[in-house]
């Protein structure tokens, strides 16, 4: 029997998908580099990068090649068996970072879930089952499982789902005194994004990160860095912690790790990993050969001086263009972030208009992101062509003129 041909449009979304998203009015069907085309053939420049995921643009030839080759070789085995791409990727991540052990999963939330469970388990095994307090930060985002929304701590994501995991405390970001006031010997971990992404593209200060490391050491607590968004070259270093002169105990990475193929990883040390044993934690798909082969290809390209140094040059082009827009239209109170994770905070007179500007930008042919109601966020490909930055910014200016001028 021939497969039924189903015609789909944006309206189909409202009929068939669980209404937890409000996607743009156009449906992308094709991408190449930093350009995307919709069902009508309209072209967009992509400054959104699939939310900091497609770090090498769309359909990068090396990633396509890795996917095809592995796709014709071996897709999946489960963790009842190991596989070569996972072992190679783990080795390369270890060689490139502080880490000595890797756990693979499929999404940022799952990597964080593993990290939080490991931090609690390590404290239980090495210290005491009562050493369970997790310190996290206001406006944090760590994913959508019940544990990760609880550590994230934003009521809009965590309320309405029944009892939450207990013993999690939230204090203001970049406020070391607030952490000092709540940390004690019952604290198992401090969980922090080196650059808060969803929370408004806010980098941690060096003083804050170094202070957190010191407080963790004083209280036998683990420093858990959520680099799901800030990692894999986004900040101009492979991982953002390298900017701060501190080493984490546990680090999570996802988004750009697979360049668009779903895969995540939790990195840690031998000492912390040593409390784990077969069966204590796991996943069916995590470390899947297909995912790991693509991630290995992405890491091979991202972790090179050419790509990492190119991030700073491209950031400069974005910042100059945003400053020029600001000079023309008096738009932004702050242009911030690190590398190609860029936040442009709207001035009070434009408060609440970020989503309108995003929609107008799409209309004008450029895909951008927001972080909250007042911050425009840009997370383009790390290898975006300078000409695409210029063209995309020209289109963004058209949107600004239409919505805010």
Q: Which residues bind ligand PLP (CB under 6 A)?
A: 107-109, 112, 141-143, 193, 197-198, 226, 228-229, 254-255
385 annotated ligand binder: no
- Shortest CB 306 distance to ligand PLP, Å: 26
226 annotated ligand binder: yes
Give the SS3 label for residue 74. Answer: coil
Is 374 an active-site residue? no
Task: Check residue 201 and give left, alpha or beta (phi > 0: left; psi -120 to 50: alpha).
Answer: left
80 annotated ligand binder: no
Burial (CB count within 10 angstroms: exposed 0-12, middle 13-18, buried 19+), residue 370: buried
Written as one string, the DSSP assignment of 118-129 is HHHHHHHHHT-T
227 annotated ligand binder: yes
Position closest to ligand PLP via CB = 108
- Shortest CB 356 distance to ligand PLP, Å: 23
Is 402 an active-site residue? no
Q: Which of 131, 133, 255, 338 is catalytic?
A: 255
How far is Cα 205 from Cα 25, in angstroms, rounded to an integer? 38
Pick the closer one to ligand PLP by CB: 246 or 254: 254
205 annotated ligand binder: no
Size of the chain in residues: 405
Pick the closer one to ligand PLP by CB: 194 or 289: 194
Is 141 an active-site residue? yes
- Shortest CB 196 distance to ligand PLP, Å: 8
Pick the closer one to ligand PLP by CB: 109 or 168: 109
Pick the closer one to ligand PLP by CB: 139 or 397: 139
Written as one string, the DSSP assignment of 140-207 is ----SSHHHHHHH--HHHHTTSSSPPSSEEEE-TT-HHHHHHH--TTEEEEEE-SEETTTTSEEPPHH
Q: Which of 226, 249, 374, 388 is catalytic?
A: 226
CA atoms within 13 Å, Cβ hemisphere of 278: 3
Q: Which of 26, 47, 104, 141 is catalytic?
A: 141
- Shortest CB 237 distance to ligand PLP, Å: 16
What are the backbone angles phi and psi of residue 289, rounded to the nearest 5°? -60, -35
Q: Catalytic residue positions?
A: 141, 226, 255
Tell me the binding residues for N(2)-acetyl-L-ornithine: 144, 283
């Amino acid at each position: 029997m021939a497969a039924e041909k189903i015609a789909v449009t944006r309206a189909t979304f409202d009929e068939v998908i669980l209404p937890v998203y409000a996607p743009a009015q156009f449906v992308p069907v094709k991408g190449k580099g930093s350009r995307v085309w919709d069902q009508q053939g309209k072209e967009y420049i992509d400054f959104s990068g699939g939310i900091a995921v497609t770090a090498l643009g769309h359909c990068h030839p090396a990633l396509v090649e890795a996917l095809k080759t592995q796709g014709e070789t071996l897709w999946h085995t489960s963790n009842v068996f190991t596989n070569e791409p996972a072992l190679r990727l783990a080795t390369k991540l270890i060689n490139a970072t502080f880490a000595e052990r890797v756990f693979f999963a499929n999404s940022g939330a799952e990597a964080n879930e593993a990290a939080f469970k490991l931090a609690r388990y390590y404290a239980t095994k090495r210290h005491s089952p009562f050493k369970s307090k997790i310190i996290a930060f206001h406006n944090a985002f760590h994913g959508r499982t019940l544990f990760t929304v609880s550590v994230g701590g934003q009521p809009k994501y965590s309320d309405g789902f029944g009892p939450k995991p207990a013993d999690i405390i939230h204090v203001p970001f970049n406020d070391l005194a607030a952490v000092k006031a709540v940390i004690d010997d019952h604290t198992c971990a401090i969980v922090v994004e080196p650059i808060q992404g969803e929370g408004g593209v806010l980098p941690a200060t060096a003083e804050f990160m170094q202070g957190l490391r010191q407080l963790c050491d004083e209280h036998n607590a683990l420093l858990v860095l959520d680099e799901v968004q800030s990692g894999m070259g986004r900040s101009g270093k492979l991982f953002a912690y390298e900017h701060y002169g501190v080493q984490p105990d546990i680090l999570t990475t996802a988004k750009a790790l697979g360049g668009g193929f779903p895969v995540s990883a939790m990195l840690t040390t031998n000492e912390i990993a040593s409390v784990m044993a077969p069966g204590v934690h796991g996943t069916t798909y995590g470390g899947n050969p297909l995912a790991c082969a693509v991630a290995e290809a992405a890491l091979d390209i991202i972790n090179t001086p050419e790509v990492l140094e190119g991030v700073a040059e491209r950031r400069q082009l974005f910042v100059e263009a945003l400053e020029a827009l600001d000079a023309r239209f008096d738009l932004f109170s702050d242009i911030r972030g690190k590398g190609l994770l860029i936040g442009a905070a709207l001035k009070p007179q434009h408060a609440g208009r970020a989503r309108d500007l995003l929609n107008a930008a799409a209309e004008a042919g450029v895909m951008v992101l927001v972080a909250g109601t007042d911050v425009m966020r840009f997370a383009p490909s790390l290898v975006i062509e300078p000409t695409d930055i210029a063209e995309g910014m020209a289109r963004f200016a058209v949107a600004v003129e239409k919505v805010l001028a």
